[in-house]
Amino acid sequence: MTTSKLHGSLFAGLLAVVLSLAGCGDDSTVNQPDHDGRVDEGADAAGGDGDGDGDGDYCEIVHPSCNGIGGGDGDASVDPPNTTQDRCNGTACGLSHLLPQEDLEFLGDMGDGWLRLMEADWEVAPTAEGYRCMTLTVPEDVLITSFFPQSPPGTHHSTFGVSSTPQGPDAVVACGVGTTGERRLQGSGAGTEATVLPAGVAMRLRAGDQINMNLHLFNTGDVPLLGRSGMWIKTVAEGEVEHEAETLLAGPLSLLVPVGRSTQTGTCTLQSDATIFAVGPHMHQKGVHMRATTMKDGEELELYDGDYDFFHQLSYPIDPVQLSAGDVVSIECTYENDTDHPISWGDSSLDEMCFISLGLYPAGGHGGGLCTN
């Protein structure tokens, strides 16, 4: 089956579920500072996925007894107020500030039909990487047909999870990669552009739902990096929607990539009937090629086969493929490991993954967003 490029990425809306069972980290996170900075032009935000250290829960809201992510001692009295200790990739990266947030209008007009879903301001200390989570309780029903991530330098991925009831007060806090919701709405990765769903397909938010925007932030520079990340959307009327969709992340939870060129595999067995309309490959910096297939009427059907560029992660529409519960999607990921050591599975840019996101409908019944054998 041939594919054509659809700007955007589905994978990131599901990435956080992979480590949702990880525990809270050690470091302290406290209140917001009086900080008026925005984007620091001097900071170098290049780098890889660097998805952090795998810490999991919404520490500051759901689990106030634990404290963010990183490698500190968890003693809140050690760090100055309004700061957090992110993961340090240099010899000493210092503390990151938690910034005050502007009161932004829900679905504010951003021009050309785009509406602001949510945005958050952030700061990351030199050579540090970490996570910020923004929660927002939805005031009205919304049917989304297009997503446009706002990802300034330093935003390595954004995921958007949804819970049917608030998990805590709306806030912006330091958090971990596993902070998510009951279902996956959408997300973005490096190089992601706008995603447009097929005609008649939408993703629903209901009044009272709480969205959790999970930002992975990475600063490879030697000065603090600041920015505002978020998501803009386009909406559609109820009468124009035939199918409510979601995304499902398929692939293995264990890898060991040897030195040199190798191919790793994984599978996903669907729990419910589904029509797949888009696919989005996701690996880290050593990934070079991905292939995904399924069996249809006794013959192999190709869902995706293409080279991979970590810094240009897109979603690809495909001719709709109807699959049944019990059908298997197989994934093959090829790597060029030019280091002197094997690379294991993990959320950091220095680790690797092998996932393909599946845009599908109907929503629901797909195991909470992760499918792995």
- Residue 121 within any structural domain of the chain: yes
Residues 300 and 204 in one domain: no
- Residue 276 within any structural domain of the chain: yes
Residues 117 and 218 in one domain: yes
- Residue 184 within any structural domain of the chain: yes
pLDDT per residue rounded down to tens, the chain (373 residues): 433 344 444 444 445 444 443 333 333 333 333 333 333 333 333 333 333 333 332 223 222 222 333 333 334 345 577 899 998 887 778 999 999 999 999 999 999 999 999 999 999 999 998 999 999 999 999 999 999 999 898 888 888 989 999 989 999 999 987 777 788 888 787 788 888 999 999 999 999 999 999 998 989 899 999 999 999 999 999 999 999 998 888 999 999 999 999 999 999 999 999 999 999 999 989 999 999 999 988 999 999 999 999 888 888 999 999 999 999 999 999 999 999 999 999 877 778 999 998 999 998 878 767 899 8
Q: 287-315 burial string, b = 16+ CB within 10 Å, else e?
A: bbbbbbbbeeeeeeeebbeeebebeebbb
Helix (H) or strand (E) holding 361: strand 355-361
Q: 3-class SS at 13?
A: helix
Residues 328 and 229 in one domain: no
Residues 274 and 145 in one domain: no
- Which CATH number fits the domain that encloses residue 362? 2.60.120.230
Task: Note every long-range contact of 303-310, with CB atoms under 8 Å and residues 24 or more positions apart, other chains counting.
Answer: 303/1, 303/276, 303/279, 303/329, 303/356, 304/3, 304/279, 304/356, 306/3, 306/281, 308/281, 308/283, 309/191, 310/48, 310/49, 310/190, 310/283, 310/284, 310/285
Residues 159 and 38 in one domain: yes
Give, in order, the Cα–Cα distances in Å from 320 to each of 1, 194, 277, 358, 359: 10, 20, 5, 11, 10
Cβ atoms 49, 191 nearer than 8 A? no
The token pair at 341 is 């050591």
Phi first, then psi, for residue 111 (nearest 5°) are: 95, 150
- Residue 339 within any structural domain of the chain: yes
Cβ atoms 315, 145 nearer than 8 A? no
Rounded Cα gap, residues 163 and 140, in angstroms = 15
- Residue 145 within any structural domain of the chain: yes
Residues 123 and 156 in one domain: yes
Residues 169 and 181 in one domain: yes
pLDDT of residue 44: 34
Strand pairing partners for 88?
Answer: 128
- Residue 3 within any structural domain of the chain: no
The token pair at 363 is 């929503």
The letter for the amino acid at 267 is: T
Last-in-domain residue among 222, 240, 258 = 240
Residues 326 and 267 in one domain: yes
Residues 220 and 158 in one domain: yes
Domain count, the chain: 2
pTM to 2 decimals? 0.76
Residues 132 and 167 in one domain: yes
Secondary structure E strands in 138-197: 142-150, 155-163, 172-175, 183-188, 195-196
CA 63 to chain centre: 22
pLDDT of residue 75: 43
Residues 334 and 291 in one domain: yes
Range of the domain at 85: 12-240
Cα atoms in the Cβ-side hemisphere of radius 13 Å centred on 228: 13
Last-in-domain residue among 240, 270, 289 = 240
- Residue 316 within any structural domain of the chain: yes
Residues 201 and 217 in one domain: yes
The token pair at 300 is 């192999």
pLDDT of residue 35: 30
Last-in-domain residue among 190, 211, 240 = 240
Q: How many residues does the chain have?
A: 373
| Chain segment 18-54, per-residue pLDDT in tens | 444 333 333 333 333 333 333 333 333 333 333 333 3
- Residue 5 within any structural domain of the chain: no
The token pair at 319 is 């001719």
